Structure 1
Amino acid sequence: MKNRKLIFIGLFIFLSVVIGSFIYFPKSIDTALNRIKYPFEVGEILTSQQIDENLIVVLYTNKNNNNELQNAIIQKNSIFYSVVEMNGSLNIEIPQKLDSGDLRTQVLVSWYDKSDKYVVMAVAYDEDVAAITYQNQELTPLDINGYHLFYGTGTGKYEVYELFDQEGNRLEHIKE
């Protein structure tokens, strides 16, 4: 009789732990990101891309005012997701015709995995900027809500990025 009670109690504890794990651990990227409140709550997830076997890079905006771009590295473990790393943010604005001396873009390169692997994201403030390259790789453009955003991933040390207009002409980083 005592053995049955012990087996029942042990089985109850085991099932409670399993059910609790399924309830507690995030089963989606949204849930994993929304558990992190720093530096701000997640607004809109703009894009996600698989970068390694179990790693996903996610670009998202601020929930409160949608004017900050943030990236995070998410790891998928079997069916659960966890935030591995969150990096700096960029202010985003709708591109416009700039005055001389204004900065055309803002770029943030974030290294992860304690190596030379990186995620690069950029915001174009100048409507003339049509393409950005980093490490000789053209960044993927995202035109969302009127913002002109770019992102990419790769491996390498810090390098200066290049800007190009619609015709493929190289642009200076600061408007001339």
Structure 2
Amino acid sequence: MDNGANGANGNSDADETQVAGETDVAAAERSRMIAAKLARLVERETREAARRGGPAPSPRSIADRICALAGRKVISKDTVRILLTGRKPTGEPTNPTVDTLDWLAKGFGIKSGAAYFLDDAITERVDAQLDQVSSLGTLTREGVTLAMRASGLSADHMTVVDALVTRLQEIEAGARDRVRGPEGSSGSEAE
């Protein structure tokens, strides 16, 4: 079975030696942490693909994208699958190289690289940024245009724009309520 791109020493990227002095419990916990973070990235990408009507990412598509980005084979579909489970086929915890984690993060557009998988503070910061970007995906083209135009305004003027948007939302909600008529009827019922 292909567990990834082999380095000069013949070890695959998902089968490196244990970190010096690390206990089996610590290795298993690190493996679970990496798997959970990778699963969140895949889940986020799956939601975005569904929103656009595209296919969910597969280990193969993820590996292909990463290798295309690298311009060479740096990870295999089997390695992606193994890292998602947090366990090698033998049942041992995974122990990917920093290089593998770096490419994995880059494949999801994360500039902090391996640190995303290894540092919880960086993970939290990047996840928050990804959530913000994801929420922008629900904006209409007009909403994006408005946001881009407003981005250069001072804080005081942004407060005015915010108040104006709130008032316009209230006006539109009132108009919808009037069209529906009393008790939610559409007002167009035959008598």
Q: Same fold (TM over 0.5)?
A: no
**Which has a greater percent of strand?**
1
Pick the structure with greater CA Rg: 2
Provide the TM-score with structure 2 as the length reference.
Answer: 0.25
The structure with higher relative contact order (CA 8 Å, sep 6+) is 2
**Which has a greater percent of helix?**
2
